[in-house]
Chain A
Amino acid sequence: MSHRWERARRSGRAVASLLAAGLLLASCTGPAAEPKTTAPAAASTPSGPLKVSVITHGTAGDAFWNVVKNGAEQAGKDLGVQVEYTSDGDPGAQAKLIDNAVAQQTGGLVVSMANPEALRPSIEAAVRAGIPVITINSGEDKSAAYGALTHVGQNESIAGQEAGKKFKDLGKHKLLCVIHEAGNVGQAQRCDGAKTGFAGTVQTLQVDISNPTDAESRIRGAVQTDSSIDAVLTLNSQVAARAVSAIKSVNAKAQVATFDLNSDVVAAIKAGDVLFAVDQQQYEQGYLPVQFLKLYRDNANVVGGGKPVLTGPDLVDKSTVDKVGQYVQRGTR
């Protein structure tokens, strides 16, 4: 008899713990699932609110992609478009996110193609499903072939050339180009571009962006072992900060320039630690595609005349850093 009570109590406890788990699951909807204005999704009809899915290859928490996200979300606010931003650095996972957006019958797709071939089947499936696609940031040369309307980004070779040329004009002779994302073709193109624009020798160095300590010590090692390096080009603002402190710690003569801006880079330009920054104005890469997709839906407009829409490079140095710095502060440059 007591036996059975014991059992009942036990199964009661199991049920309670299950319920608690259920509640725990349900309660995490708090911050994330803040009920947005969920108008009935009418993506395919050109009357309701347009829904645009922005799917990038940025890792969560990357400062650069945060600006792209801000741009896309601001465009959504300004134009009354429902913007959903997701990202995954793994090309396979990014392809699955694109499939996901297609399954949801999104009204428009904005995709960054760091690894175009991996995304090709998914993007072509989206195009077949009648979803307009705009590619951003990387994958310019494959954009039209996959059926995208246009590409919004910076031509990496041109940007690299500009940076190399600027270094040449400043009288540098040996350049170290720091690559931080294995597998990103765009970064290789930047360094190759820098080679073209720069008259002297160019070496590349591979570091890991997700491990700042490692990045710093590798750069330190490189400038220590070769004291003739007088210029370092980093391809990301976080790596730039690491390069500056690496060079300072060993009193090397090398001077840093970088792609992309953040408040550290702005401060470093003001202080003279960084010579200049190659800004690709990625805010536009978030903002413009949303606008283009809305124009396309409401007025069948296309932009660019079959050529990519370039958002950069815009070289920021001591002369322009004060104004641009304010915008960096608020996460829009």
Chain B
Amino acid sequence: MTTLDERLAKPRLTDRLVVRPEIGALLGAVVVFLFFTFASDKFFSASGAATWLDDAATLGIMAVAVSLLMVGGEFDLSAGVMTASTSLVTAILATQAGWNVWLALLVSLVFALTVGAFNGWLVMKTGLPSFIVTLGTFLALQGLNLGVTRLVTGTVQVSGMRSTDGYASAGFVFASTVDIGGTPFQISIVWWLGAIAVAAWLLVRTRFGNWIFAVGGSAGSARAVGVPVVRTKILLFMGTALAGWLVGSINILRFASVQANQGIGLEFQYIIAAVIGGCLLTGGFGSAVGAAIGALIFGMARQGIVFAGWDNDWFMLFLGIMLLAAVLVNNALRRRAERVRR
């Protein structure tokens, strides 16, 4: 095989696949899926799938937004607790102040976007690592959640959403179920698919997507060629906050109550899902679809272990080993990909 120029040579299929960031996650998802399908009889059934897709959906919405932010080279540790903050804002306004749910949702959306913009602004303004800045926001929000909830309600959970104005219509949008062949699937799965589509389109089909890769790869070079670095990063932080609001809204309307300590610790699950999906911690490389597959692996494993009837005590061990395996495979593939690129 002699070509005039290597750039004109058609790359082989395996090489074309291996450079894709989500390939490792996809293989992992197939392995996990087959594994639990054989380990239990109900895992691969309509109602089984409804269970693990439901589990993956809210995690997936967040993971997709977090993956964009990570490709942009930043972290958001306040993402987990944001899902609870937005729920609490909505619930307090609707149940305590007697507002219509839609209005309460709008205010909590504004709240989320404000916090997101603040995160981004502070990171860009100070030049501090976003890991530190958003850790601060995370702790602050955690305190606000507990403090404000106790102040307003006297307890640590807000409930009573089902009897508020506009609950029915908002519940229909955020927390209804879709019957497919007699099995109810949560609407959150539809939102998740929507989030994947929007994020994937943004990342690979728009100018903004190029900016994301550019600011994550090298902010200095991006700035030098005229990419609006500050605006891009602030928008990305607002994106994770927006996803946090969406998940918070889904949760509060579905579970009709929210605890002040919800969402803590979930931020790392989002990051893990994104990393399984091929995002680099250093930024500049990754995929929204991959992050969604990472969330799917999470959901399948979490529910699959229950389907398989294993002793719950081993659950975290399994999860840890599985995540390590996924990341190792990713790493091996990426090394290979880099060789292929050269």
List the interface of chain A (C-beta within 8 A of B): 7, 10-11, 13-14, 17-18, 21-22, 24-26, 28-29, 31-33, 36, 41, 60, 84-87, 90-93, 95-97, 99-105, 115, 117-121, 125, 181-185, 188, 206
B interface residues, how many (CB within 8 angstroms): 63
Interface string of B74-112 (1 = CB under 8 A from A): 000000000000000000000000000000000000000
A188 to B: closest C-beta gap in Å? 6
Complex Cα–Cα for A117 and B313 (A): 27
- CB pair A17 B45 closer than 8 Å: no
26 contacts across the A-B interface (CB closer than 8 A): A10-B339, A22-B31, A24-B321, A25-B321, A32-B311, A33-B310, A60-B316, A86-B312, A87-B312, A90-B262, A92-B251, A93-B55, A96-B55, A100-B307, A103-B48, A103-B307, A104-B307, A117-B162, A117-B255, A118-B257, A181-B261, A182-B146, A183-B157, A183-B260, A183-B261, A183-B262
Say whether, besides A25-B325, A33-B310, A87-B312, A120 and B256 are in contact (CB < 8 Å): yes
B82 to A: closest C-beta gap in Å? 15
Complex Cα–Cα for A25 and B39 (A): 12
Question: Chain B: which residue is nearest A208 at the CB level?
Answer: B261
Q: Does B22 contact A (CB under 8 A)?
A: no
By Cβ-Cβ distance, the 3 closest A-B pairs, closest first, are: A183-B259, A118-B255, A103-B47
B residues near A117, Cβ cutoff 8 Å: 159-162, 255-257
Complex Cα–Cα for A14 and B333 (A): 7
B residues near A11, Cβ cutoff 8 Å: 14
- CB pair B329 A21 closer than 8 Å: yes
- CB pair A25 B32 closer than 8 Å: yes
Question: Chain A: which residue is nearest B328 at the CB level?
Answer: A21
Interface centre among A22, A95, A188 (most CB of B within 10 A): A22
B residues near A119, Cβ cutoff 8 Å: 255
Question: Chain A: which residue is nearest B45 at the CB level?
Answer: A103
Question: Chain A: which residue is nearest B255 at the CB level?
Answer: A118
Complex Cα–Cα for A38 and B121 (A): 57
B257 CB contact (under 8 Å) in A85, A91, A100: A91
- CB pair B329 A18 closer than 8 Å: yes
Question: Chain A: which residue is nearest B262 at the CB level?
Answer: A90
Complex Cα–Cα for A84 and B321 (A): 23
Q: Does B50 contact A (CB under 8 A)?
A: yes
A residues near B160, Cβ cutoff 8 Å: 117
B residues near A31, Cβ cutoff 8 Å: 314
Question: Chain B: which residue is nearest A41 at the CB level?
Answer: B41
- CB pair B27 A18 closer than 8 Å: yes
By secondary structure, the B interface counts as helix
Say whether, besides A21-B31, A25-B325, A183-B260, A32 and B303 are in contact (CB < 8 Å): no
- CB pair A118 B256 closer than 8 Å: yes
B67 to A: closest C-beta gap in Å? 22
Interface centre among A29, A36, A182 (most CB of B within 10 A): A182
Complex Cα–Cα for A177 and B13 (A): 66
A residues near B315, Cβ cutoff 8 Å: 60
Q: Does B267 contact A (CB under 8 A)?
A: no
- CB pair A96 B156 closer than 8 Å: no
Q: Does B318 contact A (CB under 8 A)?
A: yes
Complex Cα–Cα for A10 and B333 (A): 10
Interface residues of B in 30-45 (CB under 8 A from A): 31-32, 35, 39-42, 45
Q: Does B223 contact A (CB under 8 A)?
A: no
- CB pair B260 A99 closer than 8 Å: no
B207 to A: closest C-beta gap in Å? 34
B residues near A25, Cβ cutoff 8 Å: 31-32, 35, 321-322, 325
Complex Cα–Cα for A181 and B155 (A): 12
- CB pair A17 B332 closer than 8 Å: yes
A residues near B18, Cβ cutoff 8 Å: 14
A148 to B: closest C-beta gap in Å? 18
B residues near A14, Cβ cutoff 8 Å: 18, 332-333, 336
B residues near A22, Cβ cutoff 8 Å: 31
- CB pair A91 B259 closer than 8 Å: yes
Say whether, besides A31-B314, A60-B316, A118-B257, A96 and B51 are in contact (CB < 8 Å): yes
B51 to A: closest C-beta gap in Å? 5
Q: Does B309 contact A (CB under 8 A)?
A: yes
A residues near B157, Cβ cutoff 8 Å: 115, 183, 185
B317 CB contact (under 8 Å) in A28, A96, A121: A28
Complex Cα–Cα for A119 and B262 (A): 15
- CB pair B42 A28 closer than 8 Å: no
B318 to A: closest C-beta gap in Å? 5
B residues near A41, Cβ cutoff 8 Å: 41
- CB pair B256 A100 closer than 8 Å: no
Q: Does B122 contact A (CB under 8 A)?
A: no
Interface centre among A31, A100, A115, A206 (most CB of B within 10 A): A100
B residues near A118, Cβ cutoff 8 Å: 255-257
B residues near A100, Cβ cutoff 8 Å: 51, 303, 306-307
Q: Does B233 contact A (CB under 8 A)?
A: no
B278 to A: closest C-beta gap in Å? 15
* New contact pairs (14) apart from A32-B318, A85-B311, A104-B42, CB-CB < 8 Å: A21-B329, A22-B31, A25-B325, A28-B314, A32-B305, A86-B312, A92-B251, A93-B55, A96-B55, A99-B54, A115-B159, A115-B257, A117-B160, A185-B157
Question: Chain A: which residue is nearest B46 at the CB level?
Answer: A103
B residues near A24, Cβ cutoff 8 Å: 321, 325
Interface string of B1-43 (1 = CB under 8 A from A): 0000000000010100010000000011001100100011110
B145 to A: closest C-beta gap in Å? 9
Question: Chain B: which residue is nearest A117 at the CB level?
Answer: B257
B279 to A: closest C-beta gap in Å? 19
A residues near B146, Cβ cutoff 8 Å: 182, 206
Say whether, besides A10-B339, A11-B14, A22-B31, A28 and B255 are in contact (CB < 8 Å): no
A199 to B: closest C-beta gap in Å? 23
Complex Cα–Cα for A183 and B312 (A): 23
Complex Cα–Cα for A300 and B47 (A): 28
- CB pair B51 A91 closer than 8 Å: no
- CB pair B325 A103 closer than 8 Å: no
A114 to B: closest C-beta gap in Å? 9
Complex Cα–Cα for A41 and B309 (A): 12
